[in-house]
Amino acid sequence: ETGVTQTPRHLVMGMTNKKSLKCEQHLGHNAMYWYKQSAKKPLELMFVYSLEERVENNSVPSRFSPECPNSSHLFLHLHTLQPEDSALYLCASSQEGGGTGELFFGEGSRLTVL
């Protein structure tokens, strides 16, 4: 139990579907992150929400849309994905501006796009 919970753990979707990944952190942190990990590739930072400000990796395509309604919840909305988007999507949280800055990761949501 890491304090960061991701659902669903596994998701299979077609290219025309719309789905969402959910992340919830129970650690009282003020920053949350989405990472993508494709097979045999390093972790790729996608989005950061920190102190209600959003930072994004400019290489992330618009078919990925993050939403952070409050400091404890983070969503990744998915629409018209491509097979190459199949990957492990990891959520993390941290306490910025006074904490140690370490990231706490969830177990990930494994996405398969058919």
Partner 1 sequence: DAKTTQPPSMDCAEGRAANLPCNHSTISGNEYVYWYRQIHSQGPQYIIHGLKNNETNEMASLIITEDRKSSTLILPHATLRDTAVYYCIVRVARGGTGANNLFFGTGTRLTVIP
**38 to 77: interface string for partner 1, x by CB under 8 A:** ----xx-x--x-x----xxx--------------------
Contact pattern for partner 1 over residues 84 through 103, marking x by CB under 8 A: ----x-x-x-x-xxxxxxxx
Q: What is the rounded distance in angstroms from the CA atom of residue 89 to the CA atom of residue 40?
A: 14
User: Shortest approach of partner 1 to residue 86 CB, angstroms?
Assistant: 14
Report the nearest approach of partner 1 to the CB of residue 18 (Å).
Answer: 25
Of 16 and 70, the one with the shorter C-beta distance to partner 1 is: 70
Task: Quote the CA–CA distance of 26 and 11 in Å, as a whole number.
Answer: 23
Centre a 10 Å sphere on the Cβ of residue 31 and count the other Cβ atoms it contains.
23
